[in-house]
Amino acid sequence: MPLTTPPVAPKTLTTLQALGIATLHDLQQTGAVRAFLLLKAAGCTLTLSTLWQLECLCRNLPPHSLDDEQKNALRQALKNHPPVAVFPSKEEMAGWMNEALKQAAQAAALGEIPVGAVVVKNGKLIAAAHNTCVSDCDISRHAEIRALAAAGKALQNYRLDGCDVYITLEPCPMCASALIQARVARVIFGVAEPKSGAAGSVLNLFANPTINPHTAILGGVSEEPCRHILQQFFQQRRQCP
């Protein structure tokens, strides 16, 4: 069943459709709280009445039928929800991930684990880096940390507000913490890291409300090439005498 006006306000309906939430099923899959946050991230000026309306639609309830307890539960869910953002188009994200993959290839050529990262702001490349832990004898020289440091110098600010970071591999806890501390707007990564991933695989620091997170995350962008470069690297290492 498509969402319609009424009950959804015309501007809200148009924005929901642009976000890929065009039917009641889409809204129920997304959830009222996340849909509300996506609308705000898309630039809509909203009151909590829109959240109540979205929740009623999700539950197939009559308008204005939520009681105070239900509204309070939604307020708490809103407070505890991980950061939400509207991400660039698939084509744009794939293009920037390709730049990160070029960095990963440089790491592989040096015998480093092939992970690359780039920092982007307003459609412009700010910094690019790859792992150099082996050559620098420094465990902190992950691609993300190096890219954040280079971007900070380029922008003359350790806080990277409004920046996106593209990483070929899901960040570890060290890098996830640095990304959050830098107040990066969005982190886009390629392939999940099942052993140490801190963006949902082992834990999700970006969703922990106790550390005041600011960064929205999205994984699975250009997943296959990001996985392939890692698999190829480790296969070659296992074949070495």
Q: Looking at the annotation, which residues are catalytic?
A: 144
Total Cβ atoms within 10 A of residue 11 = 12
SS3 content of the chain, % helix, strand, coil (to 5): 50, 15, 35
List residues forming the annotated binding site: 142, 172, 175
Q: What's the Cα-to-Cα distance from 12 to each of 18, 36, 97, 99, 177, rounded to whole Å?
A: 10, 10, 31, 35, 34
Q: How far apart are CA 213 and CA 230, in angstroms?
A: 29
Report residue 204 as tokens.
Answer: 């999700």
List residues forming the annotated binding site for Zn(2+): 142, 172, 175
What's the Rg (C-alpha) of the chain? 20
Q: How far apart are CA 224 and CA 98, in angstroms?
A: 12
**Sheet strands (E) in the chain:** 116-121, 124-130, 163-169, 186-191, 216-218
Q: How far apart are CA 119 and CA 233, in angstroms?
A: 24
